[in-house]
């Protein structure tokens, strides 16, 4: 892999730092604690503050730890204070596009256009295409000893973020970036420790960088009819059991060399079960919220919106994207008839209970 050059000159610039300050001011955390107004009114001051810190050798403080609702699930998050978060954002907003440009187009991550919904739409299209390929081949070879049958294969990396070793992440960072200044930033982010903190701003980028070689190995393997990975969950489509076994050995060998463990392997024919990835349930002709997500939605919508407490409102707000972007008209109708959109107005931006839970409505997808 050739190193990325020319990235450092784009980071310590006033325009980049201004953009980082504006982006930080739009985060829900800054809006809730009242810091967003100060960032907007004194944008030039904070931009020069970020420029000085990044240009003179970035040093980061300690994490702030809290629990937050994400897709109906309570997760423990460790993030930096806004002053540090702006500096991290100024670095990541330049490096992230360079990293994702070199990754497989079917490696999905929490960035716009490459999230769980995009993965669900791609797997829905690929599964139909895989079935058609197998059907055409079987029709053209009626006397073949073995028939092709499109198969779904899924794997999960156990405790992926916590299991990443420092040596693996360090080697990945140095293979991507050749400039000494950016390599030093990698040392600041990694801090010589094993594991990645969830919510630090750079964690998902480093996690995806590490898995990028595995993505290309699976996707280019002969007999793989489709592939998609959402963070630590991978799904690939094949045409025979022998290809399944070959790819599984590749994945397990690659992971064992880096101290990672795979679990929850599953194999079944296309159409035999619905595919669940990224919180979505992928059927032949439609995309629905996953079973666990639906369970949370049903539990919360069993009450009227006026009867929900602040924590339940935050949890339901985090699930709104699954409601509005699914192909389940019944669920959308229940949301409209119950006036659940009012929860976004009811949740107070000054409420301490809502400080780490409020989620603002996402945009609707253009097509299924």
Q: Are 92 and 85 in contact (CB under 8 A)?
A: no
What pLDDT sits at residue 211?
92
Of 73, 224, 133, nearest to 234 by C-alpha is: 224
What percent of the chain has a predicted confidence (pLDDT) above 90? Answer: 29
What pLDDT sits at residue 65?
77
Over residues 330-360, the pLDDT tens digits come to: 889 999 898 888 888 776 543 433 343 444 4
Contact residues for 336 (Cβ-Cβ < 8 A; gap 6+): none
Over residues 204-252, the pLDDT tens digits come to: 899 999 999 999 999 899 889 989 888 888 899 998 888 989 999 999 9
Strand pairing class (280-282; 233-238): unpaired
The tokens of 81 are what? Answer: 């204070």
Best-predicted range by mean pLDDT among 8-17, 262-271, 348-357?
Answer: 8-17
First to last CA, the chain: 36
What pLDDT sits at residue 355?
40
What pLDDT sits at residue 78?
83
What percent of the chain has a predicted confidence (pLDDT) above 70? Answer: 91
Please state whether 57 falls in left (phi above 0), alpha (psi between -120 and 50) or beta. left
What pLDDT sits at residue 47?
94
The domains found in the chain, sorted by start residue, are 8-102 (no CATH), 116-158+210-282 (3.30.70.100), 289-346 (no CATH)
Report the chain's mean pLDDT, rounded to a whole number. Answer: 84
* Angle, CA 255 vertex, CA 198 and CA 77 arms, to 5°: 5
CA distances for 322 relative to 40, 163, 286, 297, angstroms: 32, 30, 13, 9
Over residues 303-334, the pLDDT tens digits come to: 888 888 877 887 788 788 888 888 888 889 99
Q: Look up the pTM and report it.
A: 0.82
- Min mean pLDDT across 42-51, 60-69, 222-231, 267-276 is at 60-69
């Amino acid at each position: 892999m050739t190193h990325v050059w020319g990235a450092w000159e784009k980071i310590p610039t006033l325009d980049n730092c201004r953009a980082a300050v504006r982006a930080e001011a739009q985060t829900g955390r800054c809006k809730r604690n009242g810091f967003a107004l100060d960032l907007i009114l004194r944008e030039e001051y904070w931009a020069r503050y970020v420029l000085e810190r990044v240009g003179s050798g970035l040093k980061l403080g300690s994490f702030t730890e809290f629990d937050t609702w994400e897709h109906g699930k309570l997760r423990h998050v460790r993030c930096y204070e806004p002053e540090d978060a702006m500096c991290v954002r100024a670095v990541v907003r330049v490096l992230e596009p360079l990293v994702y440009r070199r990754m497989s187009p079917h490696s999905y991550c929490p960035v716009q256009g490459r999230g769980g919904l995009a993965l669900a739409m791609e797997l829905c299209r690929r599964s139909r295409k895989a079935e058609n390929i197998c059907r055409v081949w079987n029709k053209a070879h009626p006397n073949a000893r073995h028939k092709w049958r499109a198969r779904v294969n899924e794997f999960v990396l156990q405790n992926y973020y916590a299991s990443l070793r420092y040596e693996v992440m360090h080697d990945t960072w140095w293979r991507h970036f050749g400039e000494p200044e950016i390599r030093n930033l990698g040392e600041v982010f990694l801090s010589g420790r094993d594991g990645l903190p969830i919510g630090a701003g750079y964690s998902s980028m480093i996690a995806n960088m590490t898995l990028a070689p595995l993505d290309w190995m699976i996707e280019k393997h002969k007999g793989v009819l489709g592939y998609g990975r959402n963070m630590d969950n991978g799904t690939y489509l094949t045409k025979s059991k022998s290809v399944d076994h070959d790819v599984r050995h590749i994945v397990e060998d690659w992971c064992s060399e880096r101290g990672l463990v795979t679990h929850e392997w599953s194999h079944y024919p296309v159409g035999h079960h619905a595919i669940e990835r990224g919180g979505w349930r992928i059927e032949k002709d439609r995309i629905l919220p996953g079973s666990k997500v639906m369970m949370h939605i049903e539990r919360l919508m069993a009450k009227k919106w006026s009867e929900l407490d602040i924590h339940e409102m935050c949890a339901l707000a985090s699930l709104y994207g699954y409601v509005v972007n699914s192909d389940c008209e019944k669920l959308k109708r229940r949301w409209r008839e119950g006036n659940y959109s009012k929860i976004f107005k009811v949740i107070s931006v000054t409420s301490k209970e809502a400080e780490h839970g409020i989620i603002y409505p996402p945009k609707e997808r253009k097509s299924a």
